[in-house]
């Protein structure tokens, strides 16, 4: 038996994210979203009353997907904190090597809303970025890193800057430099090289709730043995890799 078809709302969300990411929020009309998804505009308006509402729903959906995949990916990270940081920034470099790499979707889309501080999408983006920072803090704390919250904020700054510079310069060497800087930050603090107990550092409680919520919206619940998880190639901040074709756009989920 094949996989069950995605519901209409999910198809709209996936298509809209790909279009907004590739072309920009301002340049994509609801007509284009409907046409590319293969639904009528009336159907689109049944699910979303406005383009702003659609954008907020798109980011909420993507936040859930990313949270679920980060939690799963985190279970396979090395216990040693320096090895964990090497893998974290190596994954950014692998993502940046993709032909359609355009940076983080949340940052790109929220930048278009700079003059709209009250837009609901901005609050979702803040929550998304904060959740990743919290996840980092939990990873560090589980590995015995002192001042884990502060170290997480510092490393998050390195992550965001690394993505921006790799996009501008098309140079993955920034990931190696950022990894070294992150390891220096951790190593220069008391407790920075302690190892975590096996099995304590992978799952983030801060991400677990939204992961479960995302699973309900994304697809029917499946057993762990049926999961098509991202493995070592999980990409934490996704760019759609599938081109527009035959008036539809599907998100590649290897992850992201």
pLDDT level of residue 214 (50, 70, 90 thresholds): very low
Q: Is 72 left (phi over 0), alpha (psi -120 to 50) or beta?
A: alpha
Average pLDDT, stretch 200-214?
A: 42
- Residue 245 phi, psi (nearest 5): -155, 135
User: 85, 243, 98: which is closest to 170 by C-alpha?
Assistant: 98
Model pTM? 0.71
What confidence category does residue 6 fall into, taking pLDDT thresholds of 50, 70 and 90? low
- Judge contact between 172 and 178, C-beta under 8 A: no
Confidence of residue 121 (pLDDT cuts 50, 70, 90): very high
Q: What is the pLDDT of residues 183-204, one digit of tens each?
A: 999 987 654 444 444 343 443 4
Q: Which domains does the chain have, with CATH numbers?
A: 8-233 (1.10.357.10)
Closest among 133, 175, 174, 176 to 155, alpha carbons compared: 133
| Predicted pLDDT of residue 144 | 95
Enumerate the H helices of 188-256 as residue ranges: 205-218
């Amino acid at each position: 038996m094949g996989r069950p078809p995605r519901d209409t709302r999910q198809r709209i969300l996936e298509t809209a994210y790909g279009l907004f990411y590739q072309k920009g929020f301002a340049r994509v009309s609801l007509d284009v979203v409907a046409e590319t998804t293969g639904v009528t505009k009336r159907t689109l308006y049944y699910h979303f009353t406005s383009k702003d509402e659609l954008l907020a729903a798109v980011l909420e959906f993507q936040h859930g997907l990313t949270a679920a995949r980060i939690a799963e990916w985190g279970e396979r990270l090395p216990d040693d904190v320096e090895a964990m940081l090497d893998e974290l920034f190596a994954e950014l470099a692998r993502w940046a090597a993709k032909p359609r790499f355009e940076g983080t979707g949340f940052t790109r889309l929220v930048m278009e809303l700079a003059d709209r501080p009250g837009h609901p999408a901005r609050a979702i983006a803040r929550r998304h970025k904060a959740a990743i920072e919290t996840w980092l803090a939990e990873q560090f704390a589980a590995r015995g890193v002192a001042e884990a919250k502060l170290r997480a904020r510092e490393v998050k700054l390195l992550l965001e800057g690394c993505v921006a510079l790799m996009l501008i310069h098309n140079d993955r060497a920034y990931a190696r430099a950022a990894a070294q800087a992150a390891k220096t930050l951790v190593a220069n603090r008391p407790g920075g090289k302690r190892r975590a107990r096996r099995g304590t550092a992978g799952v983030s409680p801060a991400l677990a709730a939204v992961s479960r919520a995302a699973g309900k919206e994304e697809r029917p619940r499946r057993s762990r043995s049926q999961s098509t998880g991202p493995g070592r190639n999980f990409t934490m901040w996704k760019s759609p890799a599938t081109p527009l074709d035959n008036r539809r756009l599907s998100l590649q989920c290897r992850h992201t």
